[in-house]
């Protein structure tokens, strides 16, 4: 198995939930980058966005990724915008096997509509924001990931099996080359 399995994707695609299940399945500790940022700063993500701005939050993401460089055998769930910086994309790929979880804009809106802890969606037209951010981020997710899994029609067991089997295959091939 790879050193680490990293989950990337837009908010509401299941990174935290799949991360917890994958952690249990593999016996790997779960590291949630958003939780680490909150623990280290003593502030919630919305508080950081409100008081210090998105740029500060993105720098905190880079610091967290850098601090994980020596981690082995972890499941790492990331924030949806972590791929916005080239440095982060390189760090993610260096950490291990990167899995991009995907959902349709409609499903993302459905999954996030009851959660007020999403600073980028707290305004009058979250559906438009989702579409715009997906248009910007999709090429970055694509460039960063080793595997893409559409989560809309799959249950947790199917997603986890797909991740584990794909990671095993990928790393068996990279060891042979």
pLDDT beyond 70 at 23:
yes
**Segments forming the whole domain that contains residue 133:** 4-176
Q: Rounded to whole angstroms, how far apart are CA atoms 171 and 72?
A: 14
pLDDT beyond 60 at 1:
no
Most distant CA pair in the chain, distance = 52
The percent helix, strand, coil of the chain (3-state, each to 5) is 60, 15, 25
Distances (CA, A) of 6 to 72, 119, 122: 11, 23, 27
More confident of the two residues 3 and 73: 73
**Which pLDDT score, from 0 to 100, does residue 146 have?**
95
pLDDT in tens, 104-134: 999 998 888 766 666 566 667 888 988 999 9
- Type and span of the H or E element at 22: helix 15-26
CATH of residue 62: 3.40.50.300
In this prediction the pTM is: 0.91
Question: How many structural domains is the chain composed of?
Answer: 1
Q: Are 35 and 23 in contact (CB under 8 A)?
A: no
């Amino acid at each position: 198995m790879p050193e680490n399995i990293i989950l990337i994707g837009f908010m509401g695609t299941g990174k935290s939930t799949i991360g917890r299940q994958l952690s249990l399945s593999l016996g790997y500790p779960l590291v949630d980058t958003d939780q680490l940022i909150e623990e280290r700063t003593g502030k919630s993500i919305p508080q950081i966005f409100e008081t210090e701005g998105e740029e500060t939050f993105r720098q905190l993401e880079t610091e967290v990724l850098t601090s994980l460089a020596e981690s082995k055998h972890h499941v790492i769930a990331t924030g949806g915008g972590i791929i916005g910086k080239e440095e982060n994309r390189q760090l993610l790929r260096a950490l291990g096997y990167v899995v991009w979880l995907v959902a349709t804009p409609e499903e993302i809106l459905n999954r996030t509509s009851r959660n007020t802890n999403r600073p980028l969606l707290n305004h009058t037209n979250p559906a438009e924001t989702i579409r715009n951010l997906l248009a910007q981020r999709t090429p970055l997710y694509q460039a960063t990931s080793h595997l893409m899994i559409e989560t809309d029609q799959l249950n947790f067991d199917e997603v986890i099996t797909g991740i584990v089997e794909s990671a095993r295959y990928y790393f068996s091939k990279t060891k042979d080359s």
